[in-house]
Amino acid sequence: MSGEPVLTVSKAAKFFGRKLVFKNVSCEVARGEILLLAGRNGAGKSTLMKIMAGLGRPSAGTVTLGVEPEKTAYLGHATFIYPGLTATANLRFWAGMYGLDITDEDLAAVLERVGLTRAAEEKAGGFSRGMAQRLNLARVFLVNPDLVFLDEPGTGLDSRSMAMMRNEIVSFRDRGTAVVWISHHVHEDSILADTVLAIGNRKVEYYGPASGYEPEAPSC
């Protein structure tokens, strides 16, 4: 982690109508840093991430990107795939939307990386949840982002796909990509993170090194 932050949030607040979701949220994310957003359901983690990614506007405060918008990618629980298109056609479409010139070799390499080589010409509508999310991950790999937003990417994945997802998140960091990550499994995933920002009671409850964060015991 070094240099200028790739993302700076300063005193952000969000209202939905008259309902306050959170206020006074500030944080920075540097290259090669994994920031884990923690908090209970409905605390506003996804809302904060959408604001960070430019998919929503803060009611107050500012969000500053230190990288080009072309070098950011968002991966949520929705897979962004078109079920009627093949895996290859999906990736070609997204590459076009990012203005990337990709070759057949690029496509083959990225599909191999996520283990979808055999399914390259199959329609994505027939994919399992895990395969669909891996195709979504391939979309992110194509972009080769400097900053990636992951909103519960492990939702619905089996343990094998989840392990692969965790490995890829760590490899993002190793390549210098900044990661902002919302996870259902805070106990396990805070070990991989560098920094944790926990939201609760409409404010920041914790912001600091992941090693110093003590998540609440998961409720049954």
Binding stretches for other proteins (CB under 8 A): 50, 53-57, 68-70, 72-74, 76, 78-85, 89, 93-94, 96-99, 132, 139, 149
Alpha helices in 40-158 (DSSP H): 45-52, 87-97, 104-113, 129-143
Rg of the chain taking only CA atoms, in angstroms: 17
Strands 203-209 and 195-200: antiparallel
Separation of alpha carbons 171 and 46, rounded Å: 23
Q: 157 or 198: whose CB is closer to other proteins? A: 157
b/e 70-100 (16+ beta carbons within 10 angstroms → b): ebbbbbbbebebeeeebbbebbbebbeebee
Pick 39 or 58: Cβ nearer other proteins: 58
81 versus 196: smaller Cβ distance to other proteins:
81
Nearest to 82, CA basis, from 151, 161, 135: 135
Q: Are 169 and 150 in contact (CB under 8 A)?
A: yes
In the complex, the smallest distance separating the C-beta of residue 172 from other proteins, rounded to whole angstroms, is 16
Kindly state the smallest distance separating residue 46's Cβ from other proteins, in Å.
11
Nearest residue (CB) to other proteins, 179 versus 210: 179
Hey, how many other C-beta atoms are within 10 angstroms of the C-beta on 205? 16
Residue 55 vs 163, nearer CB to other proteins: 55
Q: How far is the CB of 3 from other proteins (least distance, A)?
A: 23
Are residues 30 and 5 in contact, defined by beta-carbon separation less than 8 angstroms?
yes
> Nearest distance from residue 129's CB to other proteins, in Å?
11
The residue (of 75 and 186) whose beta carbon lies closer to other proteins is: 75
Closest distance of CB 192 from other proteins, Å: 23
Q: How far is the CB of 96 from other proteins (least distance, A)?
A: 4
Alpha helices in 12-124 (DSSP H): 45-52, 87-97, 104-113
